[in-house]
Amino acid sequence: MLPQADIEGGAKSRIKIQNYIEGHWVSDPKEESVPLINPSTGEEIGEVPSSSVETSNLAVKAAADAFASWRATPLPKRMSYLFKLYSAMQENLEDLAQAIALDQAKHISEARGEVNRVIEIVQMSCSIPALLQGETIQGIATDINGRVIKAPLGVFCGVAPFNFPALVFGWFIPVAIGTGNTFVYKPSTESPLFMQKIMQLLEDIGLPAGVVNVVHGDREVVEAWYDNDDVVGVCLVGSTPTAKSIAEGCGRHAKKTMLLGGAKNFLVALEDAPMDLLIENILMSGYGSAGQRCLAVSNIAVVPEIHDEFVERLLAASKNITLGDARDPNVFMGPVISANAKHRIEEYIGLGIEGGATLELDGRNPSLPEANREGYYVGPTIFTDVTPCMRIAQEEIFGPVLSIMKVRSLDGALKLIKDHPLGNGACIFSQNNYQIEKFISLADVGMVGVNVGICAPHPYLPFGGIKGSLVGNNKVQGKDTIDFFTQNKVATVRSVDPVDPVVPKAVTQDDVRSCVAS
Ligand code: NAD
């Protein structure tokens, strides 16, 4: 049991994040750490271990040792842990959400939404027995039947980005362990507190030691998995360069991968877009989580008929956005994750100006409550006259910066989407069914939305992009994840009568010749 002071992070106590291996809270022998910061205030609130390769390997060994008995655990028993996790997460929802609002500085209402979504994923994972059913085909030869078994594979490892500490846990771990695998997980060092609390809950519900292990640290922890023979697969949600780097490392050692990368999402507004709904959705999609969402709108393609009215309305609404501590329910927007992220976003604002775009609203130096002046805030930022080749239109900014482009028609918008190297999501606002169906069919992305600002599908459906937004093939959620964490093992089974065994006649050359002749 983790000492309370280590997980609470009250005004005076420092948060000490720890690794969790084989059912124990363990420190790394290297004893190196990085500071844990509250981005809302810039205050150092604790420390996160920078674990060594040895600790990473120790966690894999714990997961490998636990695999044999975990895979043999009857399905109802395995599911009972997921049911207990479901209840434990519901009972601790507020505590889990506050953890996310503290170290990741996600606005408290969105943090609650994230935890609720994970609870839905755990609920969906409780249906794994139905999804794990294999297939049988009778009589593939005399007395021989064929069978497909969805079998677990062994130890999977997962890596999380800073911006969805709960959701990414939900995407990987309930399904991985529900299907009979064991797991090693590396959270982001910028938002580790949620996982600390989840591991406490998993310990409290009695999950057997070694089934889920957590190692904090940087890329060395991950790179140690590539040539570790006990690791069968690695999954990541992160930026595209990280996804490519893991794909290379795993590719060299023939490991399975499920790697979700970066995003640059388009929103297309046609002449009949419902304007109130459009503005309201852009505020949530573009500025929610301070623009640090893989489905946040970033590029907005607008037809000339509504361009000027749209810009005027969006500017007026954006100027009313309030900034402050992510745990304050009365503000709209919290900070970005770090001083580096703030600096990078501000550099992009400079690049937009240099590139010739018109800066209509500048989010640098926003007005802030006194207590938050040292936090990492960037306010809503809007560029117009953006052209597709500008860096602000091409590159992932991952902040509350919107780039507005004029397009003549839906075809022009579809071309912009097609030409972009990333393809996570895209949304359209229109009431014209023909244009909507054309968009659904032709938008070159993995997820589309119609009259919604964020096209995040429900846990029953797959989540993931295409092009540079997904390295490899597997998406998360739904049946796609079940496929990733299992193999379709084939059994060819001959029945032999124990009383009167019939010895099958060997096939002779004459049999073959007679077959060919007939
Ligand atoms: P990141 O790529 O910097 O880091 C992600 C994780 O990978 C972290 O845990 C980090 O420690 C680790 N890491 C970094 N470099 C590594 C390397 N070379 N080898 C192995 N591990 C490495 O991403 P981030 O800044 O934490 O998160 C933001 C990014 O994640 C954005 O690009 C965003 O679009 C993306 N994201 C994508 C989705 C999606 O569904 N496609 C969802 C959330 C976030």
Look at residues 298, 277, 299, 278 and name the one whose alpha carbon lies nearest to residue 289: 298
Same domain as 299, residue 249: no
Same domain as 309, residue 431: yes
Question: Is the pLDDT at 312 greater than 60, yes or no?
Answer: yes
Same domain as 367, residue 240: no
φ, ψ of residue 6 in degrees (nearest 5)? -75, -20
Which pLDDT tens digit goes with each residue over 164-204? 999 999 999 999 999 999 999 999 999 999 999 999 999 99
Report the catalytic residues: 294
| Residue percentage of the chain with pLDDT more than 90 | 91
Parent domain of 326: 265-459
Same domain as 193, residue 308: no
Say how many Å lie between the CA of residue 396 and the centre of ligand 1.
Answer: 12
Residue 503 belongs to some domain of the structure: no
Mean pLDDT of 355-384: 97
Residue nearest to atom 26 of ligand 1 (CA): 161
Q: What is the CATH number of the domain that holds 436?
A: 3.40.309.10
Residue 92 Cβ inside 6 Å of ligand 1? The answer reads no
Say how many Å lie between the CA of residue 345 and the centre of ligand 1.
Answer: 17
Question: Is the pLDDT at 517 greater than 50, yes or no?
Answer: yes
The predicted structure's pLDDT at residue 448: 98
Same domain as 283, residue 230: no
Same domain as 187, residue 103: yes
Ligand 1 mutation pick, 225, 228, 234, 239, max ligand atoms within 8 A of CB: 239
Same domain as 270, residue 257: no
Q: What is the CATH number of the domain that holds 199?
A: 3.40.605.10
The predicted structure's pLDDT at residue 36: 98
Which pLDDT tens digit goes with each residue over 237-252? 999 999 999 999 999 9
Residue 114 Cβ inside 6 Å of ligand 1? The answer reads no
Same domain as 376, residue 443: yes
List all residues 6 or more positions away from 283 whose beta carbon is below 8 Å from its beta carbon. 317, 318, 321, 332
Q: Which residue carries 């993931």 as its tokens?
A: 464
Count: domains in the chain: 2
Same domain as 130, residue 16: yes
Residue 164 Cβ inside 6 Å of ligand 1? The answer reads yes
Instruction: Report how far apart the first and last C-alpha atoms of the chain are (Å, whole number).
Output: 74
Residue 506 belongs to some domain of the structure: no
b (16+ CB within 10 A) / e for 248-281: ebbeeeebbbbbbbbbbbbbbbbeebeeeebbeb
